[in-house]
Amino acid sequence: MKNKLLRSLLFWVVVAIVLGYICSLFFPDWLARVFVTFNGLFSNFLGFFVPVLIFALIAPAIAGLGRGAGKWLGITAGVAYGSTIISGLIAWGTASALYPTLLAGKSLVTDVADPEAGGLTPYFSVEMPPPLEVMSALLLAFVVGLSMTAVKSDNLYNVLEELNAMVLKVVTTFVIPLLPIYIFGTFLNLGMNENFGDTMAAMGVVLVLSIVMTLVIVLLQYLLAGAVAGVNPFTALKNMLPAYFTALGTSSSAATIPVTYESTLKNKVEEEVAGFVVPLCATIHLSGSMMKITLYALSIVYMASLDVTGGQIIGFILLLGIMMIAAPGVPGGAIMAAVGLLQSNLGFDESMVSLMIASYIVVDSFGTAANVTGDGAIALIVNKLAGGKIKGQPLTDAPSAEPAR
């Protein structure tokens, strides 16, 4: 039992989070900066590696689908977008019901500090430019994978399969073992950040509500997934805890892909489905981020007494579900993608946008954790709907004369 616990990634991630906060109380700056330097290097490596990981997982998965690749792409994307939009609508309903009481008499405070400005700086950094952007990797995987379902190309398929194996080897022997150290450094730096408390005080009750509601949306997703897939939703959710806590420390859906993938497999999702759904949803499923941004935005609308109609809010939610995909996997990327919509649809000024950004970054990781945990629920649904039809196979065995549909 003890050996099993020590081999558990979840155990080490939780230890890293707790130790990070405890050590922030007494670590000298010079020692803390060692971990901040490591985090900078590891984060840059993840930025370099994640696009390769996304391409290596998705391209052979789509290529192995044979006919119907476009169908399952559409179904998965539809479920992911629907989940994101429903999360936004629930956030709107929650705000409408609770804000008149929770925010009664509260004024808008916009002169908050940048929560990242008070953090420690690394001793040095090394730039590691990625070979391509995350969105480029995703699109390239789609193009190559879909093309290979219609064109016989055994050699390229074998190359992609070997690339997949090589990338997963890097994940299991290098990335995952170092994740607890990276998470420790993240929470150590957060605990020693003098501006963290200022931002927390500015939005107070809304920050707490947003965290609670991200947990609620995850629970609803697994209750639905459990009903569709015929599995115990609480057991399935328990198996996804390593992904949740890893995302809590990395604040990046893309960086958490390896752990999300392994956690999804524990729920008896087929490897072909997990390899296809998890990296795809890491870039397009943003229910947790949608919940937080919508709650924050509507709190400012309420406190500033902005004249915003229901139609504007619905339009904001529908467009935000698309706009956030423009910055997949980047910590804080969702709120940066939303800036234009906040100004154009809801009438935010610069001070309101600054408060939104500061508040979002403070607890960014909770939205990300909800995003990746929800990816596991989508994988369960797609796995059930596919009924074993998503199977990786050599292209010689798949019909190659017909285009994907």
First-to-final CA distance of the chain? 49
Contacts of 228 (CB under 8 A, 6+ apart): 380, 381, 384, 385
What pLDDT was estimated at residue 173?
Answer: 84
Q: How far apart are CA 72 and CA 52, in angstroms?
A: 22
Indicate the helix (H) or strand (E) that contains 242: helix 241-250
Phi, psi angles (nearest 5°) of residue 334:
-65, -45
List the domain boundaries for the chain.
1-394
State the residue for tokens 């649904």.
Answer: 381
CATH code that applies to domain 1-394 = 1.10.3860
Q: How many angstroms separate the CA atoms of 242 and 259, rounded?
A: 7
CA-wise closest residue to 119 among 23, 177, 187, 174: 187
Query: Cα separations (Å) of 51 from 121, 156, 368?
Result: 26, 19, 18
Q: How far apart are CA 129 and CA 47, in angstroms?
A: 8
Burial 168-185 (b: 16+ CB within 10 A, else e): beebeeebbeebbebbbb
Q: Using CA atoms, how far apart are residues 181 and 188, in angstroms rounded to an integer?
A: 10
Closest CA to 211 of 173, 259, 244, 257: 244
Query: Which helix (H) or strand (E) covers residue 120, if one does?
Result: none
How far is residue 393's CA from residue 148's CA, in Å, rounded to a whole number? 12
Where does residue 25 rank: exposed (0-12), middle (13-18), buried (19+ CB within 10 A)?
exposed
Residue 123: partners with Cβ closer than 8 Å, 6 or more residues away: 33, 34, 37
Contact 171, 53 (CB under 8 A): yes
Q: Check residue 402 and give its pLDDT.
A: 35
Mean pLDDT, the chain, as a whole number?
79
Identify the pLDDT of residue 351.
67
Low-confidence stretches of the chain (pLDDT < 50) are 328-329, 392-405
Report the predicted TM-score, pTM, of the whole model to 2 decimal places: 0.71
Q: Residue 18: its pLDDT value, please? A: 84
Packing angle between helix 134-150 and helix 154-170, nearest 10 degrees? 140
